Structure 1
Amino acid sequence: MLRSFLLLCATLIATPSLADEVYRFGEDAYIAGDNVTLSGDAVDDAFVAGNTVVISAPVNGTAHAGGRSVSISGPVGNNVYAAGMNVNISGPVDGDVQLFGDTVLVTAPIGKDLRLAAQRAEITASIGDDALIGAEHILLTGVIAGDASFSTKTISFGENAKIEGTLHLYVNSEDAVEVPAHVVPADRIVRHATEAFDPSVDPEGGATAEPNSGGWMAWLSGQFTSILILAALATLIAALAPAFLINLRERTLETPMRAVWMGFLSISALAGSLFLFALTGYGILLVPASIVLALLLGVAGYVIGTYILGVAVLSAMNRPLPETLTERAIAAAVGAVSVTVLAMIPVIGWIGVLAVAIAGAGALIIRWFAPGFHTEVR
C-alpha cells in the first residue's frame, strides 16, 4: 500500500495550486485540478489528481488516480492505483488493483490481485486472483478466485460470496469473525493474530511475512526502490505543476534559511496544536487532524525538498536550471540519490535529511501564505 499512500500525499501536495490542466505525452494523459474528468477517447496510461476525480474514458494501460473522491468507471486494460477519501471502482480492470482510502467500493470485476486498505471496504464483484484487504469493516458479496487475507474487526457476507482458495483471517480472537460454510469451508480457514498482518507481502498464501534479513542485495534493492519512488513523485509534481514548483525552487534557493525556519515553525505549530485543542474540551476532536496535517506537510516537504536539493546539486555542477520535463526528472533523480546518500552519513546524516524535509515544507508555507516580518510579497 505504500504506492497508494504516496499517491495520496502527492495529490494533497499538488491540487491546491492547480487549475484544470491537461498534459499529453504520446498516448498518456496527465490531468490535475479541482473537479477533473477524463472522458472521451481511450488513452494509454492515465495520471489524474484533484479534489473530485472521474475517469470514464477507457485506459488501455495503467490508471493512477488520487483525490478526495475518486471514481473509475471506464475499463482499464492493465493496473489501477488509486487513493482518496472515497474510492469507487465501477469499471472492469484486467490487471492488479491497489486502493487506499476511507470508504472503498469495488463493484466491477478485477482480473488479477486486489490489495486494499480502508476504514470500510465493499467488494461486490469478482476478483480473478488473490485479495489482501485491511479494513475495519468488510462486505463481501462477490467471488474471490484465489486466496484471501483479511485483517478486520467485522465482516459481512452475501449469499453469493465465495472464496475458492484459502482464507487467512487476522483477528484479535478466535471467535471474532464467523464465516459461513458457503463462503469457504472451515478446513480452508487459517486464523492469525492481528499483529502478524503484513500488507506489503504477496497476497498469495497469506499476508504473514517470514523474517528474512536478505543480506546486502536486499538492502541495495530497497535503497534503489526508495530512490525510484521518491524521484517519480517529484517528477509527477513537476509535470502537474511546473510553474508552482519553479516558484518554490526560486524562493528556497534564494533564502534557504528562511525556508528551513518557516518549515520548522509550521510543523511545530501543527504538532503542538494538539495540546491546545485538548485543553478546550470539544477541540480534542481536532487532535487527529493536527497529527495528519503535520505528517502530510512533512511528507510533502520531503518530496519537494528532495527536488530542490537536486536542482541545487546540478547548479553547483554548473548545469542550467531545469526547464523541460526531462530535465526536471533528472533533477528529481539527482535529488533522490543525494538525499539517500546523505541519510547514510553516520550521526549527522539524519539531521541533513530532516533539514531537506523542513526546507521543502517551509517553501510550501511561504508560497501559500507568504508569512514574514517586514517582507515584500511578490
Structure 2
Amino acid sequence: MRPMLTILVILFLSAALPATAQSGDDGATLRVGGDSYAGGRNVMATDPVPGDLFAAGERVSLRAPVAGSAHMAGRIVDLGGQVDGNAYAAGYAVTVTASIGGSASLAGADLSVAAPVGGNLRATGSEIGITADIAGSALLAAGTLMLDASIGGDLVAAVEDLRFGPEARVAGAVTLYSDDPDGVSVPASVADPARVSIRELEEAAERTDLPAAMQEVGRRSLVAAIGGFAVGVLVVATCAAAAVAIAPQRVAAIRARALAHPFGCMLAGFVAMSALVGAVVVLAVTVIGLLLVPVALALLAAMIFAGYVAGSYILGVGLWRATGRPIPEATLHKAGLAVLGAAVAGLVALLPVLGWLAWVVLVFLGLGAVSAPVFARATALAPRD
C-alpha cells in the first residue's frame, strides 16, 4: 500500500509540474502553498515568494523579496533579495546584499554580510566580513574576521585574526577566544574595555565562566548521562517486547536469519541503507524530490532505529546462547535479552572509534535481518535466462 501511495504522489506531482513550475536552462522552480522550491545547476529566484524559499544548486541567487524564511545552499550563494523572516545559507562563498528581517545563520569559506540583519547573526567561515549593522547579537567563528558595522547586542567570537573598521561598534559584551590572546585587542571606540573579555581558545571548553546554575548542570551531567543511558535501554527493550508480542513468528525468523547468516545480513543492511541515502541525494537535486526529502529522511531515521532495536535483540540472544542456555519463551524474558543486548551495545559504543564502528555494524545487522526478505523477493522476480 505504501509503495503504491508513493508512486501516486510522484505521478501527481509530475503531472502538475508543467502548470506550476518555472524553469530556465539550468534550474526549475515549483510553488506549493506559497512556498517556493528551486533546484538546478544555476538557480536564480526572480519572482516574489509569499512563503518560504528552498533553493539548492551550484550557483544560487536570490533577486526577489521573500515574505517568509530563505533556505539556500550551493557553491556560490547570493542573498540579493529582501528576506522578511530568517535566512539560512551554506556554501563556499555566501554574500548577503539585501536586508534580513529576522536572524541569519551562515556557513562557508568566504562570508560577506553587506546588508542589515534585524535579528541575531550566527556565522562560521574561513573569512567573514561584516559591513552592515546587526540589530541583535553575533556568534561567530572565523579564521579572519573583519567588523566594520555596529552590533546591537553581544559579540562572541572565536578568531585567529580580528580587524576593526572605523564604523565598528558593539553595544553589549564582547567575548573573544583566540589561540593568541595577546595578539587580539579591541579598541575603546568599539566597546568599553570593561565589557571586553579575551581568553584563550581552550578556555571555551573549560566552562569556568558559566553562571552558578549552569555549573550545577555540569555537576549533574554524569547523573543525566546515566539516566539517558537507562532510558535508551528501556526504550529499546520496550520496542523489542512489543515486536515479539505482536509478531512472534516474524521476530523469530529475523532472529534465526541473523544468527545463521550474520555477514549476509550485514551486507543486506549496508545495501538497504546505501540505497535510501542515495535516494535522499537524488531527491535533493530534483525539484519534485525536494518535497519528498523530509519523508525520505524520516524513513531513514526509522530504518536506523529499527535496525538498532533488532540488532540489540539479536546481540542479546547471541550472548544468551553463548552461555549454553535455551532461548526463553516468555515475552518479558525475550525483552530482557533486548535489555542485555542494548546495554552491551551501549557500553561498547562508549569506546573511541571502535565503539562507533560496532554501533554501525549492529545497525546493519538488524536492518539486514529485517530487510533480507525484500531482497529475496526481488531476486525471485528477476528474469532468468
Instruction: Please give the range of the TM-score, normalised by the shorter of the 2 chains.
Output: 0.5 to 0.7
1:56-105 Cα distance to aligned partner (Å, 9 max, x none): 22111111111111001111111111111000011111111111100000
Gapped runs of 5+ residues in structure 1?
A: 1-18, 224-254, 264-299, 309-321, 359-378
Q: How does 1:314-329 map to 2 (within 5 A)?
A: 325=292, 328=296
Name the residue aligned to 1:91: 98
SS at match of 2:47: coil
Name the residue aligned to 1:280: none
SS at match of 1:94: coil
The structure with the largest alpha-carbon Rg is: 2
1:280-329 Cα distance to aligned partner (Å, 9 max, x none): xxxxxxxxxxxxxxxxxxxx969817979xxxxxxxxxxxxx9x948656
Structure 2 CA distance for aligned equivalents of residues 258 and 104 of structure 1: 43
SS at match of 1:334: helix
Aligned-residue offset at 1:47 = 1.0
Asked if 1:257 is matched to 2:293, the reply is no
Q: How does 1:1-378 map to 2 (within 5 A)?
A: 20-197=27-204, 212=218, 213=220, 215=224, 257=267, 260=270, 304=277, 325=292, 328=296, 331-332=299-300, 334-335=302-303, 337-338=305-306, 346-347=344-345, 350=356, 351=358, 353=360
**Does the CA contact (< 8 Å) of 1:42 and 1:57 recur in 2?**
yes
**Does the CA contact (< 8 Å) of 2:266 and 2:361 recur in 1?**
no
**Does the CA contact (< 8 Å) of 1:126 and 1:144 recur in 2?**
yes
SS at match of 1:159: coil
**Does the CA contact (< 8 Å) of 1:306 and 1:356 recur in 2?**
no
**Does the CA contact (< 8 Å) of 2:72 and 2:88 recur in 1?**
yes
Structure 2 CA distance for aligned equivalents of residues 84 and 110 of structure 1: 19
SS at match of 2:175: strand
Change over 3 Å in CA distance of 1:81–1:336 after alignment to 2: farther
SS at match of 2:44: strand
Q: Which amino acid aligns with 1:79?
A: N
Aligned-residue offset at 1:117 = 0.5
Structure 1 CA distance for aligned equivalents of residues 226 and 50 of structure 2: 37
Name the residue aligned to 2:261: none
SS at match of 1:153: strand
Change over 3 Å in CA distance of 1:327–1:183 after alignment to 2: closer
Change over 3 Å in CA distance of 1:151–1:257 after alignment to 2: same
SS at match of 2:344: coil
SS at match of 2:306: helix
Change over 3 Å in CA distance of 1:216–1:307 after alignment to 2: farther
Structure 1 CA distance for aligned equivalents of residues 190 and 227 of structure 2: 38
Name the residue aligned to 1:266: none
Cα RMSD between the aligned structures?
Answer: 4.1
- Hey, which of these two has a bigger chunk of helix by percent? 2
Structure 2 CA distance for aligned equivalents of residues 173 and 346 of structure 1: 44
Aligned-residue offset at 1:112 = 0.9
SS at match of 2:105: strand
Change over 3 Å in CA distance of 1:192–1:334 after alignment to 2: same
| Normalised TM-score (structure 2) | 0.56
Structure 1 CA distance for aligned equivalents of residues 42 and 181 of structure 2: 45
Q: Which amino acid aligns with 1:87?
A: V
Structure 2 CA distance for aligned equivalents of residues 340 and 259 of structure 1: 11
Aligned-residue offset at 1:21 = 3.4
Name the residue aligned to 1:11: none
Aligned-residue offset at 1:337 = 4.0
| Normalised TM-score (structure 1) | 0.56
| Greater RCO structure (CA 8 Å; 6+ sep) | 1
**Does the CA contact (< 8 Å) of 1:306 and 1:335 recur in 2?**
no
Structure 2 CA distance for aligned equivalents of residues 87 and 174 of structure 1: 28
Change over 3 Å in CA distance of 1:27–1:345 after alignment to 2: farther
SS at match of 1:128: coil
Change over 3 Å in CA distance of 1:136–1:76 after alignment to 2: same
Q: Which amino acid aligns with 1:193?
A: E
Structure 2 CA distance for aligned equivalents of residues 305 and 352 of structure 1: 21
Change over 3 Å in CA distance of 1:303–1:79 after alignment to 2: farther
Aligned-residue offset at 1:38 = 1.2
Structure 2 CA distance for aligned equivalents of residues 50 and 23 of structure 1: 14
